[in-house]
């Protein structure tokens, strides 16, 4: 079994991250935006795991666990916010939700 090159793992993480960015920037539905954010977070976790595999070190996995925790908390709060927003404004279009403009 030939070893997997380190950079390939990172490239996969990078591609996923960039796809997440495109999703965040193009979608107007706030649920899609949140999903794209999950993709980006997941890509970060992947990069950590790849790093852990490179050095044979468990610290990368610990960091992945932290990211996982963060993602869980973020999704919980974010979805709660989405529900509240939908109740108030009856829309999920982020371009309509621009009350915070200066």
Partner 1 sequence: MLDLIWLLPTFPLLGFLILVLSSGQLSKKVVALVGAGSIGLSFLVAALIAVEFLNSGAEFYSMTAWTWMSVGQFTPGFTFYLDGLSLVMMLIITGVGFLIHLYSTGFMIDDPSYSRFFSYMNLFVASMLMLVLADNLVLLYLGWEGVGLCSYLLIGFWYDNPANGAAARKAFVVTRVGDTSMALGLFLLFAQLGTLNIQDLMGAAEANWTSGSGVAVAAALLLLGGAVGKSAQLPLQTWLPDAMAGPTPISALIHAATMVTAGVYLIARTHILFELAPTVQLLVAWIGLATLLMAGFTAMTQHDIKRILAYSTISQIGYMFLGLGVGAWSASVFHLMTHAFFKALLFLGAGTVILSLHHEHDIFKMGGKRKQLPVAFYSFLIGSLALAAFPFTSGFFSKDEILLGALALEGPGTWLWLGGVVGAFFTGIYSFRLVFVVFFGESQAHHDDKEVAGWNMAGPLFILMVLSLLGGFIHIPVESVFNHGEAHEEHHVSGLIHGIMIAVPLLGILVAYLFYGGRQLSADKLMANPLAAALHKFWFSHWGMDALYNTLFVRPFVYLAKLNRLDIIDQCYGLVVTLSRAGHGLLAKLQNGMLGWYAASLIFGLVLLMTLGVLL
Partner 2 sequence: MTILFYLASAIAIISTLCVILQTNIVHALIYLILSLLAVAVIFYVLGAPFAAVLEAIVYAGAIMVLFLFVIMMLNMGQHTRDQEKSWLSARGWIAPGVMAGLLLVQLLSVFAQIDQDLSGQRIDVMAVSGLLFGPYVLAVELASILLLAGLVSAYHLAKK
Binding site for partner 1 (CB under 8 A): 21, 24-25, 28, 30, 33, 94-95, 97-102
CA angle 40–15–56, rounded 5-degree value: 80
Nearer Cβ to partner 1 (40/46): 40
Min. distance of Cβ 102 from partner 2 in angstroms? Answer: 22
Pair 93, 29: CB distance under 8 Å? yes
Pair 67, 76: CB distance under 8 Å? no
Binding site partner of 33, from partner 2, partner 1, none, Cβ cut-off 5-8 A by kind? partner 1
Binding site partner of 100, from partner 2, partner 1, none, Cβ cut-off 5-8 A by kind? partner 1
d(CA 55, CA 52): 5
d(CA 9, CA 43): 10
Min. distance of Cβ 37 from partner 2 in angstroms? Answer: 11
First to last CA, the chain: 59
Judged by CB under 8 A, the residue of 44, 70, 89, 98 near partner 2 is 70
Using the rule CB under 8 A, is 88 a contact of partner 2?
no
Nearer Cβ to partner 2 (55/97): 55
């Amino acid at each position: 079994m030939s070893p997997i090159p380190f950079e390939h793992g990172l490239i996969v993480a990078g591609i996923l991250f960039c796809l997440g960015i495109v999703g965040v920037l193009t979608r107007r539905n706030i649920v899609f935006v949140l999903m794209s954010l999950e993709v980006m977070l997941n890509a970060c976790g992947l990069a950590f795991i790849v790093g852990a595999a490179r050095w044979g070190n468990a610290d990368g996995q610990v960091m992945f666990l932290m990211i996982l925790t963060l993602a869980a908390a973020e999704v919980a709060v974010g979805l709660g916010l989405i529900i509240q927003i939908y109740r108030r404004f009856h829309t999920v279009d982020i371009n309509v939700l621009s009350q915070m403009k200066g």
